[in-house]
């Protein structure tokens, strides 16, 4: 009897052990390869010793925030950590400006290991932000999925080369949908200007933080935002004329235009459909005053169909415009798709000291929806077309004329009586 009980107990223990062994293996598989990726890039330079965040050092505040973030990483996000200025404390600028390494690889998060790696960090060296951004870009180049860098620093780049803003534009121009969000633990103008420039160049955000709670809350928000499915813009390269333009369909497309350049794209639109397109051009560097953006639709014969434009003066981040164009049926059984060419141009200019390459970021949103079959239907923008509009206007004019005539005769009659 005792032997049977022992065998049963052993079998149960073996089952529990096997079950326990299976669960960790399953968890270790982590998020799929096409899931979103986020890398936290932390400044560990000597200035992080400053004790001005809730009575503790900036480094301790960052460690506390990182622990909270690590505990709350969504299951569908692959997370990594990179440092800058964490190992070299000397005066050799060449060495200090290459002081950036991946602390924790991008992937499923082992919370204990990730926290232990952060706990060992001590404020040490330089602030090679540009160099670290290039490293983070390589770290995230694994598998598919959206890519986001969250940079936490308390100052501007102390190396100068590569310039962080130039690196951000360079990474954005690769068309790999990399977003860089920046958080500043110091609020001086130079830091704010540089971190804003990095964020603007990649479609990210800049935030100044003064408290540990703000830092952890903002980083959590950005990591969680990476989990939210969004349509990934697709890179394209417009032609220099309608004939050489690439054909694009509905979706969000990204491109680059040098100052004052014109680019063309083709869209197929069937009769009974309406083309809707909007374009935005980001001024991700210093520009001169007075500028504009134009998007226009051109038919197969070269005739202009419709245009949209916007203009401004002074510093701006993004300027945008859009248009709508319905395609009508020439006859009852007309089903042939028309080619509509979209021309996108802008009139930005910049001082001679501003770099021209890469060009300004362009985002083109295209949609093709059900529209009117013929001009007699109600057309775009809420305006009537054809005989319906003529009847309405004619009837309104007739009633207005009769009413005006009656009022005139009534006033004359009253005047005579008096």
pLDDT (average), residues 96-111: 94
User: Inter-axis angle of helices 129-139 and 164-173, to 10 degrees?
Assistant: 20
Residue 175 lies in a domain: yes
Instruction: Specify whether 89 is located in the same domain as 223.
Output: yes
Q: What does the pLDDT read at residue 29? A: 57
Query: Is the pLDDT reported for residue 220 higher than 80?
Result: yes
Q: What does the pLDDT read at residue 313? A: 75
Residue 232's pLDDT band, with cuts at 50, 70 and 90, is low
pLDDT (average), residues 246-256: 91
Query: Is the pLDDT reported for residue 231 higher than 90?
Result: no
Q: What does the pLDDT read at residue 201? A: 85
Q: Which of 227, 262, 278 is the last residue of a domain?
A: 227
Mention every residue, 6+ apart, whose C-beta is less than 8 A from residue 116: none
Polymer length in residues for the chain: 418
Instruction: Specify whether 258 is located in the same domain as 174.
Output: no
Residue 364 CB neighbours (<10 A):
25
Instruction: Specify whether 191 is located in the same domain as 216.
Output: yes
DSSP lists the bridge partners of residue 317 as: none
Q: What does the pLDDT read at residue 178? A: 87
Contact by Cβ (8 Å): 277, 267: yes
Q: What does the pLDDT read at residue 391? A: 67
Mean pLDDT for the chain overall: 83
Interstrand relation of 147-153 and 37-43 (parallel, antiparallel or unpaired): parallel
Q: What does the pLDDT read at residue 159? A: 93
DSSP lists the bridge partners of residue 255 as: 362
Instruction: Specify whether 51 is located in the same domain as 199.
Output: yes
What is the value of pTM for the model shown?
A: 0.62
Give 174-207 pLDDT, tens digit per residue: 866 789 999 999 878 888 889 988 988 888 888 8
pLDDT (average), residues 300-329: 83
H/E stretch holding 180: strand 178-184
- The larger pLDDT score, comparing residue 354 to residue 69, is at 69
Give 119-177 pLDDT, tens digit per residue: 999 999 999 999 999 999 999 987 777 899 999 999 889 998 889 999 998 888 886 67
Instruction: Specify whether 203 is located in the same domain as 245.
Output: no
Residue 4 CB neighbours (<10 A):
8
Instruction: Specify whether 223 is located in the same domain as 238.
Output: no
Domain harbouring 288, CATH code: 2.60.120.380
Residue 84's pLDDT band, with cuts at 50, 70 and 90, is very high
Residue 118's pLDDT band, with cuts at 50, 70 and 90, is very high
Instruction: Specify whether 136 is located in the same domain as 202.
Output: yes
DSSP-derived 3-state class of residue 414: helix
Q: What does the pLDDT read at residue 200? A: 83
Residue 353 lies in a domain: yes
Nearest to 363 by CA among 275, 269, 293: 293
Residue 383 lies in a domain: no
Residue 289 lies in a domain: yes
Q: What does the pLDDT read at residue 316? A: 55
Residue 145 lies in a domain: yes
Instruction: Specify whether 220 is located in the same domain as 241.
Output: no
Domain harbouring 91, CATH code: 3.40.50.410
Give 8-28 pLDDT, tens digit per residue: 444 444 343 334 443 333 334
Residue 377 lies in a domain: no
Q: What does the pLDDT read at residue 373? A: 66
The answer to which of 101-115, 165-179, 270-284, 392-406 has the lowest mean pLDDT is 392-406
Give 374-414 pLDDT, tens digit per residue: 665 544 444 444 455 556 667 777 777 777 677 767 666 66
Whole domain around residue 40: which residue ranges? 29-227
Domain count, the chain: 2
Q: What does the pLDDT read at residue 405? A: 72
Mention every residue, 6+ apart, whose C-beta is less than 8 A from residue 296: 304, 305, 306, 307, 308, 323, 342, 343
Q: What does the pLDDT read at residue 377? A: 54
Q: What does the pLDDT read at residue 13? A: 42
First-to-last alpha carbon distance for the chain, in angstroms, is 127
Q: What does the pLDDT read at residue 264? A: 96
Residue 95 lies in a domain: yes
Instruction: Specify whether 204 is located in the same domain as 260.
Output: no
pLDDT (average), residues 29-47: 86
**Residues 183, 383: Cα–Cα separation, whole Å:** 47
pLDDT (average), residues 269-283: 90
Instruction: Specify whether 216 is located in the same domain as 243.
Output: no
Q: Which of 176, 204, 227 is the last residue of a domain?
A: 227
Instruction: Specify whether 206 is located in the same domain as 284.
Output: no
Q: Which of 182, 197, 227 is the last residue of a domain?
A: 227
Q: What does the pLDDT read at residue 342? A: 97
Tokens of 388: 């319906």
H/E stretch holding 154: none
Q: What does the pLDDT read at residue 18? A: 37
Residue 127 lies in a domain: yes
Instruction: Specify whether 173 is located in the same domain as 60.
Output: yes
């Amino acid at each position: 009897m005792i032997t049977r009980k022992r065998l049963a107990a052993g079998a149960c223990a073996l089952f529990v052990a096997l079950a326990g062994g299976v669960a960790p293996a399953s968890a270790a598989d982590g998020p799929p390869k096409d899931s979103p990726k986020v890398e936290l890039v932390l400044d560990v330079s000597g200035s992080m010793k400053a004790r001005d965040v809730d009575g503790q050092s900036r480094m301790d505040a960052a460690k506390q925030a990182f622990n909270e973030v690590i505990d709350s990483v969504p299951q569908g996000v692959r997370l990594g950590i990179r440092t800058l200025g964490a190992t070299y404390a000397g005066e050799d600028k060449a060495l200090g400006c290459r002081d950036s390494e991946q602390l924790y690889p991008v992937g499923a998060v082992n919370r204990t290991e990730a926290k232990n790696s952060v706990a060992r960090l001590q404020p040490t060296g330089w602030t090679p932000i540009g160099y670290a951004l290039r490293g983070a870009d390589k770290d995230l180049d694994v598998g598919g999925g959206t890519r986001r860098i969250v940079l936490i620093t308390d100052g501007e780049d102390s190396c100068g080369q590569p310039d962080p803003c130039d690196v951000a534009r360079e990474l954005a121009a690769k068309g790999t949908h990399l977003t860089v969000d920046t958080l500043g633990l110091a609020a001086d103008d130079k830091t704010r200007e540089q971190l804003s420039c990095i964020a603007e160049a990649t479609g990210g955000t800049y935030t100044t933080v003064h408290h540990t709670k703000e830092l952890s809350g903002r980083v959590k928000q950005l990591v969680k935002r990476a989990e939210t499915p969004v349509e990934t813009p697709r890179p394209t390269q417009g032609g220099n004329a309608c004939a050489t333009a690439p054909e694009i369909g509905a979706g969000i497309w990204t491109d680059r235009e040098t100052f004052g350049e014109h680019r063309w794209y083709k869209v197929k639109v069937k009769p009974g459909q309406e083309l809707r397109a909007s374009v935005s051009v980001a001024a991700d560097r210093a520009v001169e005053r007075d500028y504009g953006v134009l998007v226009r639709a051109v038919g197969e014969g070269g005739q202009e169909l419709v245009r949209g434009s916007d203009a401004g003066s002074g510093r701006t981040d993004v300027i945008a415009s859009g248009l709508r164009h319905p395609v009508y049926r020439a006859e009852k059984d007309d089903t042939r798709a028309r080619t509509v060419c979209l021309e996108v141009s802008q009139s930005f200019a910049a001082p001679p000291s501003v770099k021209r390459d890469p060009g300004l970021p362009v985002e083109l949103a295209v949609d093709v929806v059900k529209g009117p079959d013929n001009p007699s239907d109600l057309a775009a923008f809420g305006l009537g077309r054809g005989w319906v509009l003529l009847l309405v206007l004619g009837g309104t004019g007739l009633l207005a004329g009769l009413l005006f005539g009656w009022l005139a005769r009534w006033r004359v009659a009253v005047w005579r009586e008096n």
